[in-house]
Amino acid sequence: MTNESNQDRRGFLKTSGLLTGGALLSSLPFGATAGPGYHFSVNDTIKIALIGCGGRGTGAAQQALSTKQNVKIVAMADAYRDRIDDAYKSLMERGAKAADGSPRVEVPEDHKFVGFEAYKQAIALADVVILATPPGFRPSHFEEAVRQGKHVFMEKPVATDAPGVRKVLAAAEEAKKKKLNVVVGLQRHYQPVYREMIKRIHDGALGDIVGGQVYWVSGGVWQKPRKPNQTEMDYQMRNWYYFNWLCGDHINEQHIHNIDVANWVKQGYPVSCQGTGGRQVRNGKDYGEIFDHHIVDFTYADGTTINSQCRHYEGTYSIVDEKFLGTKGKIDTFGQKSALLPYKGAPLYVHNSKADGNPYQIEHDELFDAIARGQYKFADAENGAKSTMTAIMGRMATYSGKVVKWDEALNSQIDLFPATLAWDAMPKSLPDKDGLYPIAVPGKTIAV
């Protein structure tokens, strides 16, 4: 377990892949020994299992199929059969054949697995697994993939509560021992503008970073109406975004991207945070238990604070970006006009993003290239878990209204997961007679 003293820069340098923008290019042993899932000839077929066949899973599978390597989707798993069918159809339409005409999607009926336990069988058939379910399942799926010795691409966030984060951290250690490549879908680490800008910031272009703001301010996401005779478990699974055991609230599900950039720039994780939040606009019974806004101050070991803001209000100002202030200059955006600006004078560096590749593709290109060469290059899980923990700590602060410290957050025993996973089992958060779910009340709710 970590403590505050190793949240400083030195501890961070030793333990995190953030420094190199996702890839532990020099700090991990190269020349992997033969082990499960390793390929020593670029002609070998790399078998992929897709776990979680929704929008992102299908996209990630498509990106895996678009790499230069000899890859094949061989198994699919989902809680629901209809999601497998939709994803399979889409993959067959868009990526089914390699350049030489050979099939790249070969998933016979007996390799399509449905239900809560489906992931285990699909993982067993593959060399690389794509984990793209709602994040509540990620810890157990990642743990199983590592146990079975598979390379992993897993989507962010990697958990929804502290017990889940701890499980991912333990499995991340195991993955390192087994030299399994793990990429986490915090794709800014694979996006040239972030890599270039943050490398320069770390090299001192802006001096010490003394403040900043990170935002995911947008209009919100989908919602699926309750159907007659639907079990509570089925309703929550289909509407996973609005339930914390599955999603972790939007500060975790979306805003993690920007919070993770703050950690990357600061080269550490916050030692504490405090914040405010609530349900101002999106507050009916169709929206489960999550807040529609969170504003959090994250304080780092050097005493500096990064302000974070995320909200889901339709029809309002929108910004998804990060800004940082240094002692010598600032960066106002990582968007199209990204530049390192001194407080006086001409820009120190302007990034032209026009020729930059798609980070969603780059993360797969780099992962599959390493795997095909038998190289061990990626160990993103630890940072994925700690940035997930940062977002969860923010939620703990807005739900409780208290100052939350890193250690108490990481050691929290609050386990959001249902005692039993079955379609007729009950999740922990249930609606009252009017269909309304319990909502956190700052000052009263115990969230840590």
Ligand X SMILES: NC(=O)c1ccc[n+]([C@@H]2O[C@H](COP(=O)([O-])OP(=O)(O)OC[C@H]3O[C@@H](n4cnc5c(N)ncnc54)[C@H](O)[C@@H]3O)[C@@H](O)[C@H]2O)c1
| List of residues contacting ligand X (CB under 6 A) | 51-57, 77-80, 83, 116, 118-119, 132-135, 137, 155-156, 185, 187, 237, 253
User: Closer CB to ligand X, residue 206 or residue 247?
Assistant: 247
Quote the CA–CA distance of 361 and 67 in Å, as a whole number: 8
Quote the CA–CA distance of 192 and 188 in Å, as a whole number: 8
Quote the CA–CA distance of 100 and 117 in Å, as a whole number: 36
Name the residue type at position 417.
F
CB of 184 to ligand X, least distance (A): 9
User: Closer CB to ligand X, residue 132 or residue 262?
Assistant: 132
User: Minimal CA–CA distance to 351: which of 341, 366, 364?
Assistant: 341
Neighbours of 305 (CB within 10 A): 17
CB of 316 to ligand X, least distance (A): 22
Quote the CA–CA distance of 325 and 187 in Å, as a whole number: 23
User: Closer CB to ligand X, residue 81 or residue 328?
Assistant: 81
Burial 247-267 (b: 16+ CB within 10 A, else e): bbbbbbbbbbbbbbbbbbbbb
CB of 352 to ligand X, least distance (A): 23
User: Closer CB to ligand X, residue 157 or residue 277?
Assistant: 157
CB of 387 to ligand X, least distance (A): 12
CB of 235 to ligand X, least distance (A): 13
Identify the residue whose tokens are 């990170």: 214
Which pairing describes strands 71-78 and 112-114: parallel, antiparallel, or unpaired? parallel
CB of 388 to ligand X, least distance (A): 10
Q: Which residue is nearest to ligand X (CB)?
A: 54
User: Closer CB to ligand X, residue 52 or residue 288?
Assistant: 52
User: Closer CB to ligand X, residue 132 or residue 206?
Assistant: 132
CB of 241 to ligand X, least distance (A): 8
Q: Report CA Rg, the chain.
A: 21
Three-state secondary structure along 318-345?
Answer: CEEEEEEEECCEEECCCCCCCEEEECCC
Provide the total of helices (H) and of strands (E) in the chain, helices listed first: 13, 15
> Cα 222 to chain center, whole Å?
19
Quote the CA–CA distance of 327 and 329 in Å, as a whole number: 6
User: Closer CB to ligand X, residue 53 or residue 107?
Assistant: 53
User: Closer CB to ligand X, residue 4 or residue 85?
Assistant: 85
CB of 142 to ligand X, least distance (A): 12
State the Cα torsion 377-381-387-393 to the nearest 10°.
-160
CB of 278 to ligand X, least distance (A): 22
CB of 127 to ligand X, least distance (A): 19
Structure tokens belonging to residue 437: 């779910």
User: Closer CB to ligand X, residue 83 or residue 402?
Assistant: 83
Quote the CA–CA distance of 183 and 363 in Å, as a whole number: 7
Cβ contact 226:235 at 8 Å: yes
Quote the CA–CA distance of 403 and 393 in Å, as a whole number: 10
Cβ contact 305:296 at 8 Å: no
Structure tokens belonging to residue 406: 């890193």
User: Closer CB to ligand X, residue 135 or residue 394?
Assistant: 135
